[in-house]
Chains A and B, each alone.
Chain A
Amino acid sequence: MRAVMRFRIEFRGKFRPVRTMYTLFWLVITGGVLAYTLTGLLG
């Protein structure tokens, strides 16, 4: 867990605008997958 946090801190330190794009794509994919897994599960 500590290693993961250190990785996140290091990653956050650099490349802030590029990280924004990276995060945006992850959010869209995760949001889409969650939303449509729920529609499939709940019918």
Chain B
Amino acid sequence: MRRFVRENGLSLFFFTIFAVTLVGQSFAGRSNDNAVQAEHGDSPVTWWTYVMSTDFGGSVMENWQSEFLQFSLFILATIWLVQKGSNESKVPGAAGLESDEQQQIGRYTPADGPRWARLDDWRTRIYENSLLLAMTAIFFTTWLGQSLNNWREFNADARQHGDQSISWLTYLRNPDFWERTLQNWQSEFLAVGTMVVFTIYLRQRGSPESKPVGAPHDETASSG
């Protein structure tokens, strides 16, 4: 058990703070929602009802989609684009998909390497893009989830104000959807761009997200 915790500490840490903050969001959101309900003379909702509501679902999916978009774009952009001096970039000149030897594909796969890397057929083509495929699939499904929940919320609000409901396809062209989407995207892009640029000059001793403290500013990807 101790070994499990020691060898998986990073994932366990993020999983734990994810769970705690998600539960925290649900309680804070429910309180806020019930305050609005009271203002309208409606009865408060239970925690479970709130957790399964389109209000909570929309908020969760809205944030998830932007995180997965951020990483999808980061994975994709760093294949082709470089930033000299950044720890988040490959060295200038290494842009592109790289050779089979560099990527340990086919006959270059070590004996204990993944079988799908060694096969060098259609399975390798899937496996060599599996990280990007998974992150992109999660982005699109969470973005779909956001749109559906926000659409239901939008229509519920419209009905309360005596306005007409709109279809999901119409909602996809509505400024409400794009304001919610773009406000999340812009913050992710700024954060990623900041990491790319800040790791040129700034350091954190001991972190693989940083170059070694004494690494020259013009040295790219020196933490590997």
Contacts and interface: CB of A to CB of B under 8 A. Distances in A.
Given A10-B115, A18-B8, A24-B15, A33 B142 contact: yes
Query: Chain B at the A interface: mostly helix, strand, loop or mixed?
Result: helix
B52 interface: yes
B141 to A, nearest CB: 5
B123 A3 contact: yes
Contact of A33 (B114, B115, B145): B145
Interface string A1-28: 0010011001000000110110011001
B69 interface: no
Given A3-B123, A10-B115, A21 B12 contact: yes
A1 to B, nearest CB: 12
Interface residues of B, number: 30
Nearest to B151: A40
Contacts of B4: 17
Interface of B: 3-4, 7-8, 11-12, 15, 18, 52-54, 57-58, 60-61, 64, 114-116, 123, 138, 141-142, 144-145, 147-149, 151-152
Interface of A: 3, 6-7, 10, 17-18, 20-21, 24-25, 28-29, 32-33, 35-37, 39-41, 43
